[in-house]
Amino acid sequence: MAKKIKNIAVFSSGGDAPGMNAAIRAVVRTGTYYGLNVYGIIGGYEGMIKGKFKKMEKRGVGNILHRGGTVLKTARSMEFMTKEGRAKAYKSLKKKKIDACIAIGGNGTFTGAKVFTKEHNIPFIGIPGTIDNDLYGTDYTIGFDTALNTAMEAIDRIRDTADSHNRVFFVEVMGRHSGFLALDTGIGTGAGGIVIPEKETQIEDLIQLLKKNATRKKLFSVIIVSEGNKMGGAPEIAAIIKKRFTNFDTRVTVIGHLQRGGSPTCMDRVLASRLGFEAVNALLNNKLNVMVGITNNEVNYTSFKKAISKSKPIDLRLLEMAEILAM
């Protein structure tokens, strides 16, 4: 299989993440170094269906390392979820004589790759690109560190106004059903409370925490809420707390898509470059239909099935640490 690979395609799919361009750059330059023809697919799986291919050259990916978003664009394709849509995508790939694909994305991207490779004989390699950091098989995903720093900078500013006005701020961060962003952001900003999906936080626990702050005459606080929390987002939780503490001056801030944009941090650039390089080498070494990841600073390969179905554990002891350090 490795000897047959001559033409490869790279694309980004699902939500964008800072560092995707660094991964694209690494794939293109590594591929051309090894004598491969590298094509970019514009618009993810939707672009694959419509045959939107662009020949990529090493000079053409210059000056994109520092840029956020993805130069190949991205989209969520409803048509690719159908067997007929995937058949169209396969036809487009064969027309371009593509031997293998490198997909940069998250859970949905790899789910599509898993189904597609089962139906059609074109191997895929996955590069984990999502700010949620929720993929099993890698310590960090591309974009997580940048999103974390963006949230931290925003919350540092919110703390200033919370302190000045003695307010309680409920700040919602992204992360879908994963609390990695909320947990690390809360620790890094000294938040008074952290609410994540992985822990069944009762509203009474949060009320008791705020009561403790009040007895310490701490009149302001910042509570970090993960968007995937079962009790609701920051607006819902803030409304409940306001009913119990009518004297609290509460405010809600949803950081939202600010976390997805911006220039990637050095960590994300290095991680993306390394994963892009290793993805091409994985193809050439016959490691097919897997996600390439970094665990304990070592490259490893995880099947798409495991990457998307196994839960990535979060260290709940860090919640205890955060509460103690915030006192």
Six-digit token pair at 162? 């919370």
Q: How far apart (Å, rounded) are the C-alpha atoms in residues 205 and 170?
A: 15
Q: How far apart (Å, rounded) are the C-alpha atoms in residues 248 and 134?
A: 34
Please say whether the beta carbons of 217 and 181 come within 8 A: no
Please say whether the beta carbons of 182 and 197 come within 8 A: no
DSSP labels for 184-198? Answer: HHHHHHT-SEEE-TT
Q: How far apart (Å, rounded) are the C-alpha atoms in residues 132 and 12?
A: 16
Q: How far apart (Å, rounded) are the C-alpha atoms in residues 298 and 280?
A: 16
Residue in 110, 228, 219 with CA at minimum distance from that of residue 165: 219
Is 139 marked active-site? no
Please say whether the beta carbons of 226 and 143 come within 8 A: no
Q: How far apart (Å, rounded) are the C-alpha atoms in residues 112 and 126?
A: 11
Question: CA dist 313 to 25, 93, 133, Å?
Answer: 31, 37, 11
The active-site residue, picked from 99, 132, 134, 184, is: 132
Sort 307 into a burial class: Cβ within 10 Å, 0-12 / 13-18 / 19+: buried
Six-digit token pair at 48? 């694959």
Q: How far apart (Å, rounded) are the C-alpha atoms in residues 130 and 16?
A: 7
Six-digit token pair at 187? 């620790």
Q: How far apart (Å, rounded) are the C-alpha atoms in residues 201 and 208?
A: 12
Residue in 80, 82, 144, 85 with CA at minimum distance from that of residue 109: 80
Six-digit token pair at 111? 């789910």
Which residues are tagged catalytic?
132
